[in-house]
Amino acid sequence: MSTLATQHAADPILLEGLRDHALKIEDVVLSNGTSSTYYVDVKQAMLLPALARIVGREIARLAHEANASAVGGMIVGAIPIACAALVAQPNEDLVAFIVRKDRKEHGLQRWIEGPDEFLKKDTRCLVVDDVVTTGRSTIEAIEKVRHILEMRRASLEALTKRLMDVESIDADELKKIVEENSPTPLVVPGTEAPMRLAPPEAISPEVAAIEKSG
């Protein structure tokens, strides 16, 4: 995991917008259980067009500096930030993704929503969030992204190897290949299967802890 430091001064219009629309002076309980006399509800500001454009340009610039080709993070806080960067980027070389707190129990049973063809093991991702207290949810998002992209790579490598031997495969064989190379539910678009749990030895302790806390 690497961090990205920026030397750019904060945008004064953004700071004013956060103060006017996001800063709430009241007693609140934070996600880590501690109390605070104020809260910065960034979504209040990020869902305004002028502030979303500023944040989108800044995040797109940071993604470019980090050589990242995807930006996203944990639902819900990362959604407006990632989408703002998606539409504010000068070039169309950045995609967005969303990390779910809980895996869907139907359809493709995804942890991560995003364009599969651009989200692979070697994809460099910029993970964002609107508010950080302890950073736990951001760390969970990073670990989930790493885990899913690793599974996708294993499935795609097995599929590529098989297609070197035959001209085509049918849906049943595709499903079998993905099942054999995915310790958790299927991750290739267009396939479905009942949810099945990975054997304990197939999941790292860090990922197992994330899945348990999710």
Q: Is residue 135 within 8 Å of 1, Cβ to Cβ?
A: no
CATH number at residue 150: 3.40.50
For the chain, 214 residues long, give each residue's pLDDT as a single digit of tens.
Answer: 555 555 667 789 999 999 999 999 999 888 778 898 988 888 889 999 999 999 999 999 999 999 999 999 888 888 999 999 999 998 889 999 988 877 777 777 777 888 888 887 788 889 888 876 666 666 777 777 776 666 666 666 777 777 777 767 777 777 777 677 665 544 444 334 433 333 434 434 443 333 344 4
CA distance 192 to 205: 27
Determine, yes or no, domain membership for 162. Answer: yes
What is the pLDDT at residue 49? 93
What does residue 80 show for φ and ψ, rounded to 5 degrees? -65, -30
Determine, yes or no, domain membership for 21. Answer: no
What does residue 69 show for φ and ψ, rounded to 5 degrees? -110, 5
CA distance 13 to 148: 38
CA distance 25 to 116: 42
Determine, yes or no, domain membership for 85. Answer: yes
Nearest to 1 by CA among 116, 106, 138, 129: 138
Determine, yes or no, domain membership for 27. Answer: no
Tally of domains within the chain: 1
Determine, yes or no, domain membership for 2. Answer: no
What is the pLDDT at residue 195? 36
Determine, yes or no, domain membership for 3. Answer: no
Name the amino acid, one letter, at 192: E
Q: Is residue 87 within 8 Å of 29, Cβ to Cβ?
A: no
Determine, yes or no, domain membership for 66. Answer: yes
Structural domain range at position 189: 49-213
